[in-house]
Structure 1
Amino acid sequence: MVRSNNQDSAYAGDHLFLVADGMGGHAGGDVASALASKALASLDMEPEGTAESNVAVLRKAVLEANTKIRETVGDRPELSGMGTTFTGFLTVGDKLALAHIGDSRLYLFRNNTLSQITRDHTFVQRLVDSGKITEEEAKTHPRRSVLMRVLGDVDSSPDIDTEVLTTRPGDVWLLCSDGLCGYVEDVDIEKILRRRLSLQSAVDALIDKSLAHGAPDNVTVVLVETTAEAQPILEPNPRFAGSAANAPSPRDGEVTTARTRLLNRRRPVRKPPQVEESHFEPRVDEYLAELIAETKRRNRRRRLLWLFGVLAVLVAIGGALLFGYQWTQSRYFVGTDGDTVIIYRGVQQDLGSISLHSVAEDTGITLDKLDGLERRQVERTLGAGSLEEAREIVLRIGSGDD
């Protein structure tokens, strides 16, 4: 709902499922993700061998896709700097052969509980792993878009995470770009999967949830469910999505009611945050040290600002108290100490154990010299705006006695 082009690509086939999130903006993020998706789609056939051997096959194919992207940049220099994440798996019997690089994710929904399988190759994840920041702080960190590993013209042989995963009947595997997991909380994803009527309805609901948060990034979702027995493939039905899609399919024209309602609004339901373009940083160790130092400086500045803020509040409170006290000392009242009439400076109220008045003058007039009304007035105190006014009140009381 914010970006003008779709840099995500996805493929949902018979044995291969993947999500790729391009980087490089208009310079070619969509090209990179589409190249990777189409290059890997050739693996979508009945796998031979074990899941372990197919992990090696998948890894080799991902590296070949990386070479393809680099060659494309060589032919088209204007695409320099483009790259893409990749998270995908091949189904091999009751196992999955997984390959992963970047910050797109694979989740497992098992026994009504969602768990993240892949680990992000991002700067903030490095900070979390090293204990520098928390998971919550990582969600809003200003460097959360910095990728440490991607496919592209930045590395001829990038490090790719691979793993063999065992599935159980009823498992639901969720592949997504960070347009979903970056803006929709895991607890909300889990609720949607728990309440799903079908995989497609869950996909629609997850995308609608991202749209409800303003969809500041492209969002792509693939869901795969494990069944007790292998389902016969009567007719291959591979589907590309995003920038890898060759042409709109009938399903591409379908939009859920909730999504239509949101898209027809002039502005998203929530104001979308500003999203920095993802980018790769080749100087991993230097950059990590530099940004860790920057994080420390930022935390130090934050603590200093907090301290200055507290001091400013304390100064303001102290100034208000001082001003208030000075005002009270400009007031006077006529009262008694129980025996004689006294002119007091200040106000009759006390601030806890702090008295806000003191004796200004002892008039020497005893209470027994006053009539009943005057005595009651003095006991209740008579306010005055100045010492002279207080003295005039005392004179009136004294003259009444005379």
Structure 2
Amino acid sequence: MVFEGSSAAISHTGKVRSNNQDSGYAGSNLFVVADGMGGHAGGDVASSMAITRLAELDHPYESTAEAERALREAITETAGDLIDTVRARPELAGMGTTVSALIMVDDYAVIAHIGDSRVYLYRDGALTQITTDHTFVQRLVDSGRITPEEARFHPRRSVLMRVLGDMDADPELDTFIMPTQPGDRWLICSDGLSGVVDDIHTARALGQGMAPGRTADNLLKQALDGGAPDNVTIVIADVGGQHPIFSGTPTIVGSASNPEGVEVPAARPSRGGWLHPVRQAANEPTHFEPAPEYLEELIEEDRRRARRRRIGWIIGLVLVLLGLAAGLFGAYQWTQTRYFVGADEDTVVIYRGIQQDIGPISLSTAYIDTGISLDDLTLFDRVTIENTITARSLADAEAIVDRIRDRAEVNSR
């Protein structure tokens, strides 16, 4: 499938958050998503500052090395901007942002990434996550301690190991260069999308052949239908092979689309309190970067959780086995209240149980050997007895035997 060179960006507050701390940018050469963190004010400021700084990189480059160097420098300068801002406004301490950026240079993609926003590539009908989340749960996945599916619902999935923030003037970035090909479709998104819509549904939406704008709307709808507990920002770019020059004004979405979003706002008083718990929760940060000692606590907590999970599985298995054993025992006890009339090698016998076996286990035992010889029976009675006769009770079985004995005595005269 070949898409025309085009792009789209969209951002939504979601269904729980009271403000949008995400920002997104789709231009001619540059495509970025920044997911802010740090409370009601700090997150939107941080993501806006990142987009404002990186927007200056939206121009052609002579080489991929030049573009990669420009990305590194701009993101590092943004870290310095955040530090200076917090120095001037201490109430914004702790703010930061993820950054996932893509610059197209000829037929190559230059990517820079920090945090847990993601860059995906949809190519030849397959969706591939290009970036790796810088999160605590991703570290657990990489070490084999949990599965990717468990990571989606892990209670500590919001803990970032790396972020562009006000604490580190030289952030550790992932940068790399990838060749592209015609038909490539790139998706950059915040975890408001990837945390709600799984890869299967994302790939299905990207593969429907719709224009980037309609595809972004489709993905946003899926996130909203899934509850959208966080801000959702989506940038889609259909670029591959020799990079075309897009025309028109860049699309800026989220907090960066508001010129006031780049300014440092005054501290806003909390109106949450105990009277408005939902609103208060909506203003809490969705991500945070932990202190080293907190990471040790998280690791130990994860060990305890793993132990509890193993113990829970063992207890659950034991309970299932006990329930199964109790059920089998109850069923066996019931069979021992049933009777039927049959034959052994040469006589008529009353059996207790039912005329079935479970593998090598017999569900019946000889209860009374009547002493009536099979040779004394009529042909009809003998065939009937060998095929067994079900009785309603022991008394019924004995009555059946009495009738057979009477006929046997007549037949033997």
Q: TM-score, normalised by structure 2?
A: 0.73
- Give the direction of change, closer, same or farther, for the CA distance of 1:160–1:345 in structure 2 (3 Å limit): closer
Count how many residue pairs are aligned between Structure 1 and Structure 2: 370
Paired letter, 2:389: T
Q: Which residue of 2 aligns with 1:302?
A: 309
Deviations 1:300-335 (A, max 9, x none): 433333333232222222222222323333444444
d(CA) in 2 for partners of 1:47, 1:355: 83
State the AA in 2 paired with 1:240.
Answer: I
In structure 2, the residue matched to 1:256 is none
List per-residue Cα deviations over 1:219-277 (Å, max 9, x = no partner): 212233357475386xx6233201111279xxxxxxxxxxxxxxxxxxxxxxxxxx993
User: 1:7, CA displacement in angstroms?
Assistant: 1.9
Deviation at 1:51, TM superposition (A): 4.1
The residue aligned with 2:221 is 208
Confirm whether residue 279 of structure 1 aligns to residue 293 of structure 2.
no
Amino acid at match of 2:391: G
1:347/1:157 CA distance change after superposition, 3 Å = same
Q: Is the 8 A contact 2:184 2:240 kept in 1?
A: yes
Whether 2:67 is the aligned partner of 1:67: answer no
Asked if the contact 1:148–1:282 (Cα under 8 Å) also holds between the matched residues in 2, the reply is no
Number of the residue aligned with 1:383: 391
User: Which residue does the alignment assign to 1:321?
Assistant: 328
* 1:280 positional shift: 1.5
Alignment of 1:286-297 (within 5 A): 290-297=297-304
Please report how far the alpha carbon of residue 38 of structure 1 lies from its aligned counterpart in structure 2 after TM superposition: 2.5
Q: Distance in 2 between matches of 1:58 and 1:174?
A: 19
Aligned position for 1:237: 249
Segment drifting more, 224-233 vs 80-89: 224-233
Looking at structure 1, the residues matched to 302 and 385 of structure 2 have their Cα atoms a distance apart, in angstroms, of 67
1:152-231 map, 5 Å: 152-165=165-178, 167=180, 171-224=184-237, 225=239, 228=242, 231=245
Provide closer, same or farther for how the CA distance between residues 378 and 44 of structure 1 changes in structure 2, counting only shifts above 3 A: closer
TM-score, scaled relative to structure 1 = 0.75
Once superposed, what is the RMSD of the aligned Cα atoms?
3.8
The answer to whether the Cα contact below 8 Å between 1:99 and 1:160 also exists between their aligned partners in 2 is yes
Which residue of the other structure, out of 41, 46, 49, is the alignment partner of 1:35?
Answer: 49
Do the aligned residues in 1 keep the contact of 2:348 with 2:372 (CA within 8 Å)? yes
Structure 1: which 5+ runs fail to align?
Answer: 249-274
**Residue 17 of structure 2 corresponds to residue 9 of structure 1:** no
- Give CA deviations for 1:11-44 in whole Å, capped at 9, x if unaligned: 2334443210112343532232123222433x14
**Are the counterparts in 2 of residues 145 and 276 from structure 1 also a CA contact under 8 Å?**
no
How far off is 1:134 after superposition?
3.8
The corresponding residue for 2:95 is: 82
Which residue matches 2:161? Answer: 148
CA-CA distance at 1:279 after TM superposition: 2.0
SS in 1 for 2:81: helix
The within-5 A match list for 1:333-372 is 333-337=340-344, 339-366=346-373
Separation (CA, whole Å) in 2 of partners of 1:107 and 1:174: 5
Deviation at 1:122, TM superposition (A): 1.4
Counterpart of 1:314 in structure 2: which amino acid? L
